[in-house]
Amino acid sequence: MGKMQQSAKNGILGKIRSFKEFNVLMVTIILIIGISIKSPIFLSATNIRTTLIGLACNGIIAIGMTLALVSGGFDLSVGAIMGLSACLTVVFAGMGLNVWFAAILALIVCIGVGLLTGTLIGRVGLNPFITTLGIQQIARGAVFVLTAGSSLSLPAGADISSFKKLGQSSILGIPIIVVIFIIMAVLGDFLVKKSSAAMKVFYIGSNEKAAILSGINAKKVKQMVYIITATLAAVAGILTSARFGVATSNTGAGSEMTVISAAVIGGASLTGGKGTILGAVVGVIMLSVISNALVLFNVDVNWQSLISGAILILAILFDLLSHKRKYKA
Amino acid sequence: MGKMQQSAKNGILGKIRSFKEFNVLMVTIILIIGISIKSPIFLSATNIRTTLIGLACNGIIAIGMTLALVSGGFDLSVGAIMGLSACLTVVFAGMGLNVWFAAILALIVCIGVGLLTGTLIGRVGLNPFITTLGIQQIARGAVFVLTAGSSLSLPAGADISSFKKLGQSSILGIPIIVVIFIIMAVLGDFLVKKSSAAMKVFYIGSNEKAAILSGINAKKVKQMVYIITATLAAVAGILTSARFGVATSNTGAGSEMTVISAAVIGGASLTGGKGTILGAVVGVIMLSVISNALVLFNVDVNWQSLISGAILILAILFDLLSHKRKYKA
Amino acid sequence: MENNIILSTENIQKSFLGTKVLKGVSIELKRGEIHALIGENGAGKSTLVNIISGVHQPDDGDIFLDGIKQEYKNPSDAQKAGIGLVHQELALCSHVTVGENVFIGRLPETGGLIDRKKLYEMTEKVLEPFESSIKPDQIVEELSVAQQQIVEIAKALSLNCKVIIFDEPTSSLNESEAQKLMNIIEDIKKQGIGILYISHKLSEIFQITDRLTVLRDGNFIETLDTGSTNSDHVISSMVGKQVKKLYPNKSTCVNEKEEILHVEGFTRLPEFKDISFTVRKGEILGLCGLVGSGRTEVSRAICGIDKSKSGEVYLNGTKVSIKCYADALNNGICYLSEDRKKDGLFVAMTLLENMMAPELKNISRFGLLNRRMVTKQMADYKQKINIKYVTVNQIMNNLSGGNQQKIMISKLLALNPKLIIMDEPTRGIDVGAKTEIHAMLRELSEAGVGVVIISSEMPEIVGMCDRVVIMNVGNLVGELKGEDITQENIIAKISEFCEY
Amino acid sequence: SSRTTGDNSGKKETADKSNGDQTKEGGTSSGGTVETANASFVGDPSEEYYMVTFLSGYSYWKTCYKGFEDAAKQFGVTSVYGGTTEYDVNEAVTAFEQICAKKPAGIAVSCMDADAYAPVIDKAVADGVNIVTFDSDSPNSDRITFLGTENYAAGAAAANYIGDKLGGSGKVAAVTTTGQSNINERIKGFSETLAANYPNIKLVQVVDSGSDEVTCASNVAGLLTNNPDLKYVFCALLLASTGTQQALAEANLTGKIKVVAFDTDDATLDAIKNGAVEATVSQAPYAQGYWSMVYLYFIKHGLINPVDGWMEKGYPSLPKTADSGASIVTKETCDNYYISK
Ligand SMILES: Nc1ncnc2c1ncn2[C@@H]1O[C@H](COP(=O)(O)OP(=O)(O)OP(=O)(O)O)[C@@H](O)[C@H]1O
Ligand SMILES: Nc1ncnc2c1ncn2[C@@H]1O[C@H](COP(=O)(O)OP(=O)(O)OP(=O)(O)O)[C@@H](O)[C@H]1O
Ligand SMILES: [Mg+2]
Ligand SMILES: [Mg+2]
């Protein structure tokens, strides 16, 4: 880690530029400026608000994904686990349980799934790609079985309406979901940069052998990482169920790709050892800004994929060329 | 590479077991035996035939994907490029071109896309994950634009019916598509094991710096790899258009994940330097056999995802436990 | 007396893949003693110390620390018991800072949070005696090999152990850094710590160690008081036969007129500036200077591995255009990297495949590889420079460090080059094989191949070179020839420049 | 398992629902009069009729299969639901072919792509498997009949409904998804019908639903930012309505901007009841499934036989297409549509 990468120039400017997240932040800001010139509505309070609500869940998942990437693995199951936790919350609540209790139960089940993933990857030594793909299918499959391919609604009740507040109300004008996301991101960024537990993940991702030689329990740490990714995905799922009041069989579909992209854009490496929460969060913001712009500019849906793909590549190209930081998988 | 990894025991048995593909082959054979005991129809000519046709395209793509994995990268754009080539073939034929010429034109365009991907990753040094994800979106986006989100059919014509034979006829009872796939797989396996060009990919995946210091032009080789993945994906797309006579906007969707899974199951490593075509092909077969079994056993569709995920994990677990080969990303 | 033994091993045995690597080794290390462990490449030195420090488990035999029998399941058990090891191969986490590497697993914390200020202060303190320019908050990836080696050593020193084991700590350090390390080791010896020291540099052995133990082929040969023996005896004890001369005769056939290589005006600021020199037929040229003087950088630029701002290369009188390393190879110029792990080896591939890498073109017909040709080549070199391996299909990682280096060298020699630039060619190679390699280099040079040696080992430069060019901070600062090549003169040239 | 064996009036329940195992023996040994002869309204449990779809598992098919299954029960035959869970023509056709390879008594298939299925259907028909298509047709194939609603017509129905409600003027938008031709057809029917019948109604924007309701809500929120004066949003697929409802709720526009959804799963019907959705389009999935089974059974048992070998001769005996109609479901009628409960 180490915040400073030999900042050649000193002074405040040099220090700012030496931040790992500087590049992606710059690209995002340029995008935001460009878009808001074309469409002033982009910076309207409503639009910012809805965009933030929309990215909060991916942002929360990105925190865990960054850790997984730092450890040298990744987690393709997060989207499905998000769906599973949303679905379980609704199912348990539908059984008559207090919805808060239902949510905690759903969280526990998902943590259990993370424990399984972590055990398979960390302790047994299975390949993260196949394992998390398998877990993805299992979790999504469970959602299909539970929802029978449709969507389930939260029942009515006093507890339900307080639960829905979690997903639908605001504090000081900021939606609670967004507040939770910001707290988690700030806390996550702080902990990843400062805590010795997170440091172990960096050691393992950088050189697992060296880490083991120094007495770090790599198996346990890796196991923990997947428990964290699952927990955060589950939190995202619970917030989604509170927000929508329903769980669909699609909740969270495709999130994993968005989130991995965001983390990599934010400076994480697929070979481990590198990555910051702040970077990943800015990456999530960048991707959301792009898709928001496509809607605001009323781009034909059939063109959207083409354009967002091109922007994605241009963004990392710009990043590379202007800052000469090498993206290497 | 090196066929024998310290085969402790000698003799023919030892030699067979030392084949890299042995483990996945064993798991697949056990699966096949198990399924055919439960459902004798599984080994019927028709079922084998349809299963083989169904997996041929993924099999062809897996050849290229293995190379990409060996080089230390991967290619998320193959499915979309398969879709693009199918679509372009139909579009060009619809413009009145001879369909064979249309197919060659589509192939050339897709090779161009591969050249772009290869240049961005190999020469410019962009991250393969984001780059191929971006190219995936661009290629799929182009398909959406061309098909307007729907599907396009080949027009009628003499050339068309000969072209459709490519996708629908058989030689000696074996569908031409399958014949092409088998030839490509055998040739690919041979070349990857024996040719000096493929050896370069192994060197780069194993230690890029050392490869450069052996006089290998890593940039060019990596560029080539993505040209090959795109070319093979394009071939798969052309065969698909010949088989179905149409190009849908979803042709090839999700193939990349199946194919990467297959290659990893077959022994390839996501960190590069390892992998065989035979292994990847057996991996493709294994995955197809699993989904075939789900259909044959009339497994409730809502349960299919769950069960196939569980089988996926069990398969690599079995592989690991019985042969103590470590799957490491 | 018994009380004075801090660490002992009894009848340690170990096999890898059915090959017995240690055949019952017993050694004793006293408190406050520096004890050398010497032997040819592959003799089993690293394996022994890896067993002592819990990296491997012995098949048989016991380890006693302070007279108590030990059983380590993993390295941290050994660490906790008070055994520190400086690994032969660097084991650093390259993405994190120096401080985070030195105190890996033992970061100073307050309430679960890392106290980086304190960490960097502590690191500063550990690094102090090395007087290096390494900063505690630098990312390890950005350090040179030598600097990384220092970090590795600092890591072990900071453990405050009862026993510290150094496995070839100086193989990538230059003379002055090595000297600093010697001083540090003598210091910690005074604290009553037992030190096990592995090195192929006999001068170091005779400078600092109290006793030495010789291993050969996994067998314990003898333990001697360093003071009561001499290098001839030690060498023959290691090799099992008499070795007469460490360095071959100097060249007698230098042809002043025939220039094999002429390098003109190589510049890439700030690393190096206006470097021009010549390699004549029949001579071995030495390129010397302190660490960071830019020797490696210049050589890599000449070979097209890294781009340079300007500079021209003439081979046998004709200008050649070298844009990438493949061009250099095509022209018969090859370069041996100083960092074999990073730039040289395919550790997960077989020996054969490693050997094949630069010769793909020569050994393929119709684009298909002919492995048999290479197998034969390997067998040749196995004999010539005594490479120790079981089969060519062995994984590179399983070879001892010195044997890996030997394969690196064979790989280049097999190319029949016109000019060979060797950056630290005998790093980690045992004395016996060193003489073989030196003899081979002399033979090549006599046969008309241009040979350039970069070495941090002054005796090697002095012993081998017919002419040396000296670099300092990226500048060419002088040239010495024949009898004038002495350690003192080289140092003088360097400091002369520094006075400006 | 989705296998069900019919429980005809004269017979006992013989289904083995436990695990998808085939228990044909169980069917025949169950006593009663087992009619294997043709021209009977009582079938044999060993007769298997398949319903095959793409994107299997989505609730829409549940209702289709309910009709199929109910009809099968009435005939005393076995019905099975299968297909791929993917939206990929290769996967879909492969699964379909694998089912054809089992030579069932009949298959009702929904074709992911019209032409792609044609050769496979032709081959299966040539092999003696009776095939009808439902929901999505393959008109150039040798299938016997298509039962369903053209997606285009369903989109048009939504357009006509909205057009009437708006009295001919106002702004509307639609939510679609990329790359799914059936959804695409609905949008086409919707926009073309609006343009033709209601020139003063402006379809201002068509947005993408994305992969889940979270993405959909974000996209619709963008739509609302752009066009706060919308009157209606037409969600052309089931997935879109949840996200759209939420985006409206978060913008405090529920009820002000009205939603016309698609399909009649319970959640949508609930939403109609509580006012979040004004109406939804039904393609009569139950009828599609039911009549598919009836047609298949009739052919298999020769219940319709105007001339011998009518099928080969092409004697018109069954409608080539049977329109199941597209109806608009509103608060008044929605109670009738809770079919899967
Ligand atoms: N993990 C392993 N697997 C197989 N063989 C091994 C392994 N480690 C070491 N060996 C073999 O054991 C022998 C002793 O190796 P070791 O590294 O102990 O030698 P060394 O004395 O340290 O040599 P050097 O001076 O070259 O470092 C060598 O022949 C080596 O090939
Ligand atoms: N003492 C040092 N302080 C700072 N940087 C150093 C130092 N030593 C080496 N480096 C870095 O590593 C590079 C070393 O240069 P180079 O390897 O060309 O020197 P060299 O003369 O070959 O020395 P060596 O003995 O390490 O091979 C320099 O460009 C510099 O970036
Ligand atoms: Mg050693
Ligand atoms: Mg150097």
Would you call D102 helix, strand, or coil by DSSP?
Answer: coil
Give one DSSP letter per residue of C410-449, joined into a string: HHHHTT--SEEEEESTTTT--HHHHHHHHHHHHHHHHTT-
A271 chain-C contacts, CB cut-off 8 A: none
Which amino acid, C147?
A: Q
Distance from CA of B185 to the nearest CA of D (A): 20
Confidence of residue A104 (pLDDT cuts 50, 70, 90): very high
Give one DSSP letter per residue of C266-322, joined into a string: EEETTTEEEEEEEEEET-EEEEEESTTSSHHHHHHHHTTSS--SEEEEEETTEEE--
D222, HSE (Cβ side, Cα atoms, 13 Å): 29
B196–C360: do the CB atoms touch at under 8 Å? yes
- In this structure, the number of other CB atoms found within 10 A of the CB of residue A85 comes to 35
List the structure tokens of C166. 């150094």
* Mean pLDDT, all residues of chain C: 89
Residues C206 and C64 placed together within one structural domain of the fold: yes
CA distance C442 to B115: 47
Q: Of the ranges A226-230, B241-245, C103-107, which is most confident?
A: A226-230
C300 alpha carbon to ligand 2 midpoint, in Å?
A: 13
Give bridge partners of residue C30 from the DSSP assignment: C5
D98–B295: do the CB atoms touch at under 8 Å? yes
How does pLDDT run across A146-177, given as a tens digit for each residue?
988 788 888 888 888 899 999 889 998 899 99
Residues C278 and C424 placed together within one structural domain of the fold: yes
A295–D178: do the CB atoms touch at under 8 Å? no
Would you call C88 helix, strand, or coil by DSSP?
Answer: coil
Residues C446 and C476 placed together within one structural domain of the fold: yes
φ, ψ for residue D252, nearest 5 deg: 55, 40
Confidence of residue A323 (pLDDT cuts 50, 70, 90): low
D218–A243: do the CB atoms touch at under 8 Å? no
Query: CB under 8 Å to C192, separation ≥6 — which residues?
Result: C31, C32
Q: Consecutive 10-residue runs of chain B (329 residues): their mean pLDDT?
A: 40 58 84 90 89 94 96 95 96 94 97 97 92 96 91 87 90 93 96 93 94 93 97 97 90 91 89 91 94 87 88 84 49
Residues C212 and C300 placed together within one structural domain of the fold: no
Q: Name residues contacting ligand 1 (CB within 6 A).
A: C 16-17, 21, 39, 41-47, 88, 388, 398-403, 428, 430
The parent domain of residue C276 ranges over 254-332+417-499
Residue C468 near residue C460 (C-beta atoms within 8 A): no
Give bridge partners of residue C278 from the DSSP assignment: C262
Distances in Å between the Cα of D233 and the Cα atoms of D43, D179, D274 are: 47, 20, 17
Total domains in chain C come to 2
Classify residue C382: in a domain, yes or no.
no
How far separated are the first and last CA of chain C, in Å rounded?
A: 57
Q: Report the alpha-carbon angle C138-C140-C145, nearest 5.
A: 120
Classify residue C398: in a domain, yes or no.
no
How does pLDDT run across D279-308, given as a tens digit for each residue?
999 999 999 999 999 999 998 888 888 888
How does pLDDT run across A49-72, given as a tens digit for each residue?
999 999 999 999 999 999 999 999
Query: CB under 8 Å to D100, separation ≥6 — which residues?
Result: B46, B50, D107, D120, D123, D124, D127, D129
Residues C259 and C235 placed together within one structural domain of the fold: no
D2 chain-B contacts, CB cut-off 8 A: 298, 300-301
Residues C233 and C311 placed together within one structural domain of the fold: no
Complete domains list, chain A, with CATH: 47-323 (1.10.3470)
Residues C180 and C327 placed together within one structural domain of the fold: no
CA distance D117 to D143: 10
Higher-pLDDT residue of C89 and C11 is C11
C173 alpha carbon to ligand 2 midpoint, in Å?
A: 11
C393 contact B CB<8A: yes
Higher-pLDDT residue of D214 and D24 is D214
CA distance D334 to A327: 55
The pLDDT of residue D18: 39
Residue B278 near residue A103 (C-beta atoms within 8 A): no
Q: Which of C239, C270, C298 is the last residue of a domain?
A: C239
Residue D322 near residue D146 (C-beta atoms within 8 A): yes
Chain B residue at shortest CA distance from A316: B126
ipTM rounded to 2 decimals:
0.86
Closest to B302 (Cβ–Cβ): which among D57, D87, D95? Answer: D57
A14, HSE (Cβ side, Cα atoms, 13 Å): 8
Pocket lining: C291 vs ligand 2, CB cutoff 6 Å: yes
A6–C142: do the CB atoms touch at under 8 Å? yes
Give the mutation candidate from A248, A297, A303, A307 for the D interface (greatest D CB count, under 10 A). A248
Closest atom, ligand 2, to C-alpha of C456: 25
Give the mutation candidate from C46, C96, C167 for the A interface (greatest A CB count, under 10 A). C96
Q: Which of C239, C272, C292 is the last residue of a domain?
A: C239
The pLDDT of residue A11: 58
Q: Which of C175, C205, C239 is the last residue of a domain?
A: C239
In this predicted structure, the answer to whether residue A15 has a pLDDT above a threshold of 70 is no
C93 alpha carbon to ligand 2 midpoint, in Å?
A: 20
Classify residue C466: in a domain, yes or no.
yes
The pLDDT of residue B71: 95
Distance from CA of A82 to the nearest CA of C (A): 29
The pLDDT of residue D23: 38
Give bridge partners of residue A195 from the DSSP assignment: C113
Residues C87 and C212 placed together within one structural domain of the fold: yes
Which amino acid, D117?
A: Y
Higher-pLDDT residue of B5 and C194 is C194
Residue D3 near residue D99 (C-beta atoms within 8 A): no
A295 chain-D contacts, CB cut-off 8 A: 207, 219, 222-223, 226
How does pLDDT run across C168-177, given as a tens digit for each residue?
998 888 788 8
Residue C86 near residue C173 (C-beta atoms within 8 A): no
Residues C76 and C167 placed together within one structural domain of the fold: yes
Classify residue C394: in a domain, yes or no.
no
In this predicted structure, the answer to whether residue D148 has a pLDDT above a threshold of 50 is yes
In this predicted structure, the answer to whether residue A10 has a pLDDT above a threshold of 80 is no
Residues C231 and C294 placed together within one structural domain of the fold: no
The pLDDT of residue D272: 94
Distance from CA of B314 to the nearest CA of C (A): 27
The pLDDT of residue A1: 38
Check which CATH number belongs to the domain holding C203 and give it: 3.40.50.300
Distance from CA of B176 to the nearest CA of D (A): 15
Confidence of residue C294 (pLDDT cuts 50, 70, 90): confident
How does pLDDT run across D235-265, given as a tens digit for each residue?
999 889 999 999 999 999 999 999 999 998 8
Pairing assessment for the beta strands B174-175 and A246-248 based on DSSP bridges: unpaired
Pocket lining: C292 vs ligand 2, CB cutoff 6 Å: yes
- Which of A229, A294, A266 minimizes the C-alpha distance to A74? A229
Classify residue C92: in a domain, yes or no.
yes
D149, HSE (Cβ side, Cα atoms, 13 Å): 25
Residue B131 near residue A317 (C-beta atoms within 8 A): no
B206 chain-C contacts, CB cut-off 8 A: 346-349
How does pLDDT run across C303-350, given as a tens digit for each residue?
999 888 888 999 988 999 998 899 999 999 999 998 888 888 999 899
List the structure tokens of D182. 């059936």
Pocket lining: C296 vs ligand 2, CB cutoff 6 Å: yes
C369 contact B CB<8A: yes
Note if the bond before C417 is cis, omega within 30 degrees: no
The pLDDT of residue C386: 84
Residues C261 and C161 placed together within one structural domain of the fold: no
Residue D203 near residue D194 (C-beta atoms within 8 A): yes
C79 contact A CB<8A: yes
Chains D and C touch (3+ CB pairs under 8 A): no
Pairing assessment for the beta strands D4-5 and D78-83 based on DSSP bridges: antiparallel
- State mean pLDDT over D140-164: 93
Instruction: Say how many residues make up chain D.
Output: 341
- State mean pLDDT over A225-235: 98
How does pLDDT run across C386-418, given as a tens digit for each residue?
888 888 988 998 898 889 998 999 999 999 999
The pLDDT of residue D12: 39
CA distance C490 to C492: 5
Burial code of B204-215, b = ≥16 C-beta within 10 A, e = fewer?
bbbbbbbbbbbb
Residues C221 and C304 placed together within one structural domain of the fold: no
Distance from CA of B102 to the nearest CA of C (A): 32
CA distance A222 to A205: 10
How far separated are the first and last CA of chain D, in Å rounded?
A: 18
The pLDDT > 70 percentage for chain B reads 91
Classify residue C309: in a domain, yes or no.
yes
The pLDDT of residue C91: 83
Confidence of residue C498 (pLDDT cuts 50, 70, 90): low
Classify residue C146: in a domain, yes or no.
yes
List the structure tokens of B211. 């490869």
D247–A50: do the CB atoms touch at under 8 Å? yes
Which amino acid, D144?
A: I
Classify residue C155: in a domain, yes or no.
yes
Residue B286 near residue B262 (C-beta atoms within 8 A): yes
